[in-house]
Structure 1
Amino acid sequence: MKELHDVPYWLWAVIAALLLVQGTWMFRDARRRDKGRAAWFWGLWGMTGSPTPLVVYLLFIVLPQRRKQGR
C-alpha cells in the first residue's frame, strides 16, 4: 500500500476536481434531459469513479435520445 503514499497531493486534488466536474455535468445534463427523474443518481455515481459512469450515461441516456431526434 506504499504506492498510494507516493502519489503527490496535487494529483489527488486534480482527480477530486475531475470527479466533481464529471458528476456535476452528469447531474445537470440528466436533469435537463430526463426532467430530473434520475438526476441525483447520475450525479452521485459520476462522482464515484471514471470513466465507467460517464460511458454508461452516454450509451444509455445521450445516444438513444439523439437517435430519437434524428441527429
Structure 2
Amino acid sequence: MSELKEIPIWLITTIVPILLVQGTWMFLDAGKWGKWRWFWGIWGLINTPLPLLIYLFFVRFPDNRKKRHSREDE
C-alpha cells in the first residue's frame, strides 16, 4: 500500500479560511441577486477558485452589464 503523506498545517490554515470566506460571500451575494444561493454557497465551500470565477463571469458580470445598459437608456 502507498503511504499517505500528512498535509502541512500551514496549508490547512490557509485554505480553510479562503474557502469559508469565498463560500459565505458567494452565498450572500447570490441571495441579493436571487440566483441559487445554496448551490453557489456550497460549491464555494468545496472548491477554489473555479466556482468564484464561474460565478463572477456568468452570474455577476452579466447582471451588472444589464443594469448599466438600462440606466444609459433612460
TM-score range, shorter chain: 0.7 to 0.9
What does 1:51-62 align with in structure 2 at a 5 Å threshold? 51-62=49-60
Code of the residue aligned with 1:21 in structure 2: it is V
In structure 2, what is the equivalent of residue 29 of structure 1?
A: 29
RMSD: 1.9
Q: How far, CA to CA, are the matches of 2:9 and 2:56 in structure 1?
A: 31
Mind listing any 5+ residue stretches in structure 2 that lack a counterpart? 70-74
What does 1:1-71 align with in structure 2 at a 5 Å threshold? 4-5=5-6, 7-34=7-34, 37-70=35-68
Residues 39 and 67 of structure 1: is their aligned pair in 2 closer, same or farther, counting only changes over 3 Å? same
Q: How far, CA to CA, are the matches of 2:5 and 2:66 in structure 1?
A: 45
Code of the residue aligned with 2:37 in structure 1: it is A
Mind listing any 5+ residue stretches in structure 1 that lack a counterpart? none
Q: How far, CA to CA, are the matches of 2:49 and 2:4 in structure 1?
A: 22
Structure with higher Rg: it is 2
Q: Give the fraction of aligned pairs with identical amino acids, expressed as a percent.
A: 44
Cα deviation, 1:24-65, whole Å, max 9, x if unaligned, reads 00000000111xx41000000001111110010001111110
Count residues in correspondence.
68
Code of the residue aligned with 2:52 in structure 1: it is L
